[in-house]
């Protein structure tokens, strides 16, 4: 299990690099954390480390955003917070994305947990005292 403590935003890039280097073969990352814990902010840092110059925002209403990298790869960023029925994930064609071999960063995965494949990286972000973020990541 990887454990990271982030005390200020300047540590985001190095922390994102550490997560990617710890799980170099993995492409599906499920981000758990309360509202405002920093899931989207950390995903922005991951996309930057993966060499995407695209503007990264939470896809709360669109459910999915797609970002390009300098080498032509694609990153998929999901936010399932507003999903009402699991069928919405099927309507979105989530399987095409999840099994594409591209990076998939999923916010609010608990909304579609029964659809997630085995062998993903579970990333839990929580806020501690004085704005410190604690990140734990493990393959599940």
Predicted confidence at residue 60, as pLDDT, reads 81
Predicted confidence at residue 30, as pLDDT, reads 98
Helix runs in 1-140, H state only: 12-22, 39-49, 87-92, 94-98
Whether 14 shows a pLDDT value over 90: the answer reads yes
pLDDT bracket for residue 12 (50, 70, 90): very high
Prediction pTM value: 0.95
What are 83's two structure tokens? 């999903």
Tally of domains in the chain: 1
Boundaries of domain holding 39: 2-139
What CATH number corresponds to the domain at position 78?
Answer: 3.40.50.300
Q: What is the pLDDT of residues 89-114, one digit of tens each?
A: 999 999 999 999 999 999 999 999 99
**Residue 74 to residues 22, 42, 52, 60: CA-CA distances in angstroms?**
20, 18, 9, 19
| Of the listed ranges 28-37, 53-62, 108-117, the one predicted with least confidence | 53-62
Q: Is the dihedral of CA 124, 27, 140, 83 positive or negative?
A: positive
Residues 6 or more apart whose CB falls under 8 angstroms from that of 74 comprise 66, 67, 68, 100, 102, 103
């Amino acid at each position: 299990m990887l454990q990271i403590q982030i005390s200020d935003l300047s540590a985001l890039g190095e922390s994102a690099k550490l997560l990617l280097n710890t799980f170099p073969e993995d492409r599906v990352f499920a981000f758990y954390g309360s509202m405002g814990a920093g899931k989207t902010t950390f995903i922005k840092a991951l996309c930057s480390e993966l060499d995407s110059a695209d503007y990264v925002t939470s896809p709360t209403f669109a459910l999915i955003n797609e970002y390009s990298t300098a080498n032509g790869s694609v990153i998929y960023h999901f936010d399932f917070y507003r999903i009402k029925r699991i069928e919405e994930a099927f309507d979105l064609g989530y399987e095409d994305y999840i099994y594409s071999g591209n990076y998939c960063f999923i916010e609010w995965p608990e909304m579609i947990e029964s659809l997630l494949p085995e062998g993903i990286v579970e990333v839990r972000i929580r806020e501690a005292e004085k704005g410190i973020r604690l990140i734990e990541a493990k393959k599940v």
